Amino acid sequence: ANCICCGSPYNLGTTPTPFSRENFVPLNQHSNDELLALRQQVQSRYNSLKSEGLQLDLTRGKPSSAQLDLSNGLDGILQANYMAGAVDTRNYGSPLGIAEARALGAELLGVPADQVLAGGNASLTLMFFAVMLQNNIGCRGSDSAWNRRAAAKVICPVPGYDRHFTICETLGVDMVTVPMTDSGPDMDAVESLVKTDPDVVGLWCVPKYSNPTGCTYSDETVDRIAALGKTADPSFRVFWDNAYAEHHIATPGETLASIYDACLRHGTEDSVWQFASTSKMTFAGAGISWAASSPGNLATFKKFVNAAIIGFDHVNQLRHVKMFPNLETLREHMEKHRQLIAPKFEAVLRQLDEDLDADYGEWTRPAGGYFISFDAQPGLAQRIVDLASEVGVKLTPAGATFPYGKDPQNQNIRLAPSLPPLEEVQKAAQVFTLCVQLATLEQKLAS
């Protein structure tokens, strides 16, 4: 089978065993009586699950304990040597982060080190600061502040990342959606909005292994995004959240064109903010993060952030660069993550393939990242989530992948297989497909 997202053959680096269709419940060419019988069978299996007392969770893309254990070497790695060159990391100072951490971020993001800020455990914090700066203060003085407009708008590809939407909603920035395609955001729609609506001042991107579809932006898409700064309002900013830059599931992993190089070609360096972190590489709650942009943007950002934070955790930054002195060592570490997480994705995808077909929905086959995006038949996402909840399986809330939690088609569900043990992932996947079958049969019979 080919990836619905990118069209390429699906391969997790292992040889899949043949699928069993023993429990497959097809809908095509069935009479109403046959559909009733199918629903009774599925309902009976569903009812039996209620007695099992399940407590399974596929809600968020958290690393498992086994993944976190891969970074236990951070504990004690400094051996009481807190010096980063001439910098004592225990003290105040280095508002842009220690040089070694900025250099690692520069390798990861493909930018000069002097254009990188190294921060705390969450790139989300840096993104919030960046949007707040643009909205409340302005990137080039108060006249450029978004909140001086009647209705500043940021473009959000959907389905997308709920935390991005929460930032905009919290700061009072309006959101306008464009569809995700197999090569990234619908760039015709993006360019049209930028050209025709002067209040469009931003674009959210998860360019590699997108949340939740797993798509990696094509070279053409990257170039067209970099070119937006030539025609957009001067305060327009792309928020390039490269959260899954090294989070491969398949091997070899996919590659992403450099947005920095594309901006240099177009002369639009001011228009893009890049972000990344180690949140799903080391300790999710105790990693380091990075923000990168043009020298002018970074200088403004530094002044803004320093009003709230005298300095990020430089001791933790030093711990990380001791463990990962360069990008190559980080990639060796991420291969260990891949080996832990790939079987869980394979288990979910195998269950979807065994139990469902296009009559029930479509799903992506990601080559990396933390999610599988499932599109049920329109109108069924909330029902599926509710059915799963009733038997003890928590799913991401329906609508979470759209601004304001409102999926206009009520069909997208984000699956996150990374956290539970493999056997729990397998069980949760079985429950999920059964709930999809039941909800779809209910809808079919009602129509």
Q: What pLDDT digit, counting tens, does each position of 178-219 carry?
A: 999 999 999 999 999 999 999 999 999 999 999 999 999 999
Closest by CA to 269, choosing from 302, 303, 230, 241, is 230
| Measured distance CA(91)–CA(297) in Å, rounded | 26
**Kind and range of the H or E run holding 352:** helix 327-355
Which pair of tokens denotes residue 147?
A: 């909140």
pLDDT of 75 reads 96
Got the DSSP string for 146-210? GGGSS--EEEEEES--HHHHHHHHHHT-EEEEEEEEBTEE-HHHHHHHHHH-TTEEEEEE--SS-
Strand partners, 290: 118, 276
Is residue 280 within 8 A of residue 127, CB to CB? The reply is no
- Per-residue confidence (pLDDT) for residue 24, from 0 to 100: 54
Q: Round to whole Å and give the CA distance between 294 and 274.
A: 10
pLDDT per residue as tens, the chain (447 positions): 333 333 444 344 332 333 344 545 567 778 899 999 999 999 999 999 989 999 999 998 999 999 999 999 999 999 999 999 999 999 998 999 999 999 999 999 999 999 999 999 999 999 999 999 999 999 888 888 999 998 999 999 999 999 999 999 999 999 999 999 999 999 999 999 999 999 999 999 999 999 999 999 999 999 999 999 999 999 999 999 999 999 999 999 999 999 999 999 999 999 999 999 999 999 999 999 999 999 999 999 999 999 999 899 999 999 999 999 999 999 999 999 999 999 999 999 999 999 999 999 999 999 999 999 999 999 999 999 999 999 999 999 999 999 999 999 999 999 999 999 999 999 999 999 999 999 999 999 998
What's this model's pTM, rounded to 2 decimal places?
A: 0.93
Task: Give per-residue pLDDT as tens, 134-186.
Answer: 999 998 888 889 999 989 999 999 999 999 999 999 999 999 999 999 999 99
User: Sign of the C-alpha dihedral, residues 444, 40, 411, 3?
Assistant: negative
